[in-house]
Structure 1
Amino acid sequence: MRRILLALAVVLVGSLGAVTIATADESGRVTEDVVPPVLEPPATLAYSPGPNATGVDPRASATVTVENGTLDEVTLTGPDGQAVEGEPNAERTEWSTTVDLAYDTTYTWSGTATGRDGAKVPLQGSFTTLKPEKVVRGVINIGDGRTVGIAAPIRIQFNDHVEDRAAVERALSVETSVPVEGSWGWLPDENGGSRVDWRPREYWPPYTKVKVTADLFGVPYGNGRYGAADITSSFEIGRAQIVKADAASHRVKVIRDGEEVFDFPASFGLDSDPRRNTRTGIHVVTEKFPERRMVSETFDYDVNMKWAVRISNNGEFLHAQPATVAQQGRANVSHGCINLSPENAKRYYDSAIYGDPVEVTGTNVALSARDGDIWDWTLSWEEWKSLSALSQG
Structure 2
Amino acid sequence: MVAAVLAPLALTGCTSDPASAKTDDKAGGAKGGGSPATVTVTPSGKAVKPGEPVRVTAQGGSLTSVTVTDGKGGRLTGRISERNTVWTSHRRAVPDATYAVTAVTKTAGGTTGTRQASFSTAAAGKVNKVDWRPGENTTIGIAHPISLVFDNPVKNRAEVEKQLRVTTSNNTEGSWGWMRDWSGKDRVDWRPREYWRPGTKVSLKAELNGTDSGAAGGWFVRDYSTAFTIGARQIVQVDLDNFKLTLNRDGKQIRGIPISGGTPGGDKRSWRGTTVLMSKEGTINMNSETVGLGDAYNKMVDYSMRLTWSGMYAHAAPWNSAHLGRANKSSGCVGMSTADAASFYRDVRVGDPFEITGEDTKGTPGQGNGFSNWNLSWEQWRKLSALR
TM-score tier (shorter): 0.7 to 0.9
Query: Which letter does structure 2 place at the counterpart of 1:374?
Result: F
Could you say if the C-alpha distance between residues 325 and 48 of structure 1 is closer, same or farther in structure 2, counting changes exceeding 3 Å? Answer: same
- Structure 1 residue 128, shift from structure 2 partner: 3.0
- Structure 2 distance, partners of 1:107, 1:371, is 40
Give the greater-gyration-radius structure (CA): 1
CA contact (8 A) 1:58 1:129 kept: no
SS at match of 1:358: strand
* 1:376 corresponding residue in structure 2: 373
SS at match of 1:312: coil
**Cα displacement string for residues 262-289 of structure 1 (whole angstroms, at most 9, x for unaligned residues):** 0111111112x32111111111101112
- Structure 1 residue 372, shift from structure 2 partner: 1.9
SS at match of 1:367: coil
SS at match of 1:389: coil
- Structure 1 distance, partners of 2:258, 2:68, is 72
- Structure 2 distance, partners of 1:135, 1:277, is 41
- Structure 1 residue 257, shift from structure 2 partner: 0.8
**Cα displacement string for residues 204-255 of structure 1 (whole angstroms, at most 9, x for unaligned residues):** 1111111112221222322273332221211111101111111111111100
Query: Which letter does structure 1 place at the counterpart of 2:369?
Result: G
Q: What TM-score do the two structures reach when normalised by structure 1?
A: 0.75
CA contact (8 A) 1:168 1:216 kept: yes
**Cα displacement string for residues 10-49 of structure 1 (whole angstroms, at most 9, x for unaligned residues):** xxxxxx9xxxxxxxxxxxxxxxxxxxxxx93144441312
SS at match of 1:162: coil
- Structure 2 distance, partners of 1:87, 1:210, is 25
Which range is displaced more, 165-174 or 133-142? 133-142
| 2:334 equivalent to 1:338 | yes
* 1:222 corresponding residue in structure 2: 214
CA contact (8 A) 1:243 1:359 kept: yes
**Cα displacement string for residues 178-216 of structure 1 (whole angstroms, at most 9, x for unaligned residues):** 232221110025545311011112211111111112221
Q: Tell me, which stretches of 5 or more residues in structure 2 are unaligned?
A: 1-11, 13-31, 80-84
- Find the partner of 1:162 among 142, 145, 154: 154
SS at match of 2:360: coil
Q: What TM-score do the two structures reach when normalised by structure 2?
A: 0.76
* 1:240 corresponding residue in structure 2: 233
* 1:212 corresponding residue in structure 2: 204
- Structure 1 distance, partners of 2:99, 2:221, is 20
* 1:147 corresponding residue in structure 2: 139
1:292-371 correspondence to structure 2 within 5 Å: 292-297=284-289, 298-365=294-361, 366-369=363-366
Query: Which letter does structure 2 place at the counterpart of 1:380?
Result: S
* 2:267 corresponding residue in structure 1: 275
CA contact (8 A) 1:139 1:231 kept: no
- Find the partner of 1:199 among 191, 210, 215: 191
Query: Which letter does structure 2 place at the counterpart of 1:248?
Result: D
CA contact (8 A) 1:160 1:192 kept: no
- Find the partner of 1:137 among 129, 154, 161: 129
1:39-78 correspondence to structure 2 within 5 Å: 40-49=33-42, 52=45, 55=48, 57=50, 60-61=53-54, 63=56
Cα RMSD (Å) of the superposition? 3.8
SS at match of 1:345: helix
- Find the partner of 2:382 among 385, 388, 393: 385
Could you say if the C-alpha distance between residues 321 and 180 of structure 1 is closer, same or farther in structure 2, counting changes exceeding 3 Å? Answer: same
**Cα displacement string for residues 36-63 of structure 1 (whole angstroms, at most 9, x for unaligned residues):** xxx9314444131265376364663465
Which range is displaced more, 325-334 or 220-229? 220-229
- Structure 2 distance, partners of 1:75, 1:386, is 39
CA contact (8 A) 1:186 1:196 kept: yes
- Structure 2 distance, partners of 1:356, 1:87, is 40
**Cα displacement string for residues 146-167 of structure 1 (whole angstroms, at most 9, x for unaligned residues):** 1111110111111110111111
| 2:248 equivalent to 1:255 | yes
**Cα displacement string for residues 278-308 of structure 1 (whole angstroms, at most 9, x for unaligned residues):** 1111111011122111111314321111111
**Cα displacement string for residues 327-383 of structure 1 (whole angstroms, at most 9, x for unaligned residues):** 211111111111111110000000122111111111422122188222212222222
Greater relative CO (CA pairs within 8 A, separation 6+): 2
* 1:127 corresponding residue in structure 2: 119
Query: Which letter does structure 2 place at the counterpart of 1:360?
Result: I
Query: Which letter does structure 2 place at the counterpart of 1:324?
Result: N
- Structure 1 distance, partners of 2:130, 2:78, is 34
Could you say if the C-alpha distance between residues 279 and 240 of structure 1 is closer, same or farther in structure 2, counting changes exceeding 3 Å? Answer: same
Q: Tell me, which stretches of 5 or more residues in structure 1 are unaligned?
A: 1-15, 17-38
- Structure 2 distance, partners of 1:88, 1:141, is 31
Query: Which letter does structure 1 place at the counterpart of 2:232?
Result: R
- Structure 2 distance, partners of 1:309, 1:301, is 18
Identity of matched residues, % = 31
SS at match of 1:326: helix
- Structure 2 distance, partners of 1:170, 1:143, is 22
- Structure 2 distance, partners of 1:346, 1:314, is 23
Query: Which letter does structure 1 place at the counterpart of 2:314?
Result: L
Query: Which letter does structure 2 place at the counterpart of 1:259?
Result: K
